Amino acid sequence: MLALVAEQPRHGYEIIQEIAQRTEGAWRPSPGSVYPTLSQLEDEGLVRVEQSDGRRVVHLTEEGTRYVAEHREELDASGPRSTATPTTA
């Protein structure tokens, strides 16, 4: 989730949709897993949540930005990715 928020600020539903899209529907996290995780990241000081147009939008904090930069490879490896099987010519 940190990698997704690092790309751009997002609200919770958008995070759920983005993960589902990137995994081609193989994984669609429930709100019951996304929102507690976002709360934990906020408690850890890695994200902040702001109200915008009636939605709670998640932004990286300076500490979150630093964490993502220091752990980019790890986050990219564990993040959602396409389930498509590469084809060979």
DSSP assignment of 37-73: HHHHHHHTTSEEEEEETTEEEEEE-HHHHHHHHHTHH
Does the residue 7 lie in any domain? yes
| pLDDT at residue 83 tops 80 | no
Work out how many domains the chain is built from and give that number: 1
The CATH number covering residue 19 comes to 1.10.10.10
d(C-alpha 25, C-alpha 74), whole Å: 23
Chain segment 20-63, per-residue pLDDT in tens: 999 999 999 999 999 999 999 999 999 999 999 899 999 999 99
d(C-alpha 34, C-alpha 47), whole Å: 13
pLDDT of amino acid 84: 47
* Residue with the larger pLDDT of the pair 82 and 6: 6
The model's pTM = 0.81
10: helix, strand or coil:
strand
pLDDT of amino acid 75: 87
Asked if residues 66 and 29 have their Cβ atoms less than 8 Å apart, the reply is: no
Does the residue 47 lie in any domain? yes
